[in-house]
Structure 1
Amino acid sequence: MNEELPLSEVSLLAADLQVDAVAVSFSVHYPSRQAKQDLATLRNTLDRNIKLIAGGQAVHRGVRMQNLWICNDLKKIPDICRQCFPGFIQNK
């Protein structure tokens, strides 16, 4: 089952859950321009201390903003976690 959460609810949910990061993915079928706009909106509505991690083909290049990490290779997740969260320990 794939449930989509409206973008307008992500920031509220992140605040309610007191998360350290939000990760989103945009498929190749999602318009790149819309993905960039959605990321900018999300970044502006999230608490500035919450990290934003984005992946997917729609954001594979050309997106830069504060507290945003682009990850299009799942093998890079541990590296991003180490950058985002000092003290991150990866279980093997």
Structure 2
Amino acid sequence: MMGPRQEAQPALFYEFSLEDHVPQDHLLCSIDRFVDLRSIRAHLADFYSHTGRPSVDPELLIRMLLVGYCFGIRSERRLCEEVHLNLAYRWFL
């Protein structure tokens, strides 16, 4: 039969927002209100090479170090694993 389908179809895509899954009273939400690292790229631009592979974003690196410090994660490898798994850490970064 031609024409629009009369019965409801389930959505093919779903909407997911990290902000909806991180509680407002989380420690990283409090830190994010006071930490503004947007200008750090401009200050450090002269120290980054324009050749070769792209470097790690300095804002991302500092935010990862803050997460590690606040939550007692001493290993950089472990910190990368935790950031991969924890939604609040991903939201902060």
TM-score, normalised relative to structure 2 = 0.25
Which has the higher Rg, Structure 1 or Structure 2?
Answer: 2
Q: Which has the higher strand share?
A: 1
- Name the structure where helix makes up a greater proportion of residues: 2
Specify which structure has the bigger relative contact order, considering alpha-carbon pairs within 8 angstroms and separated by 6 or more residues. 2
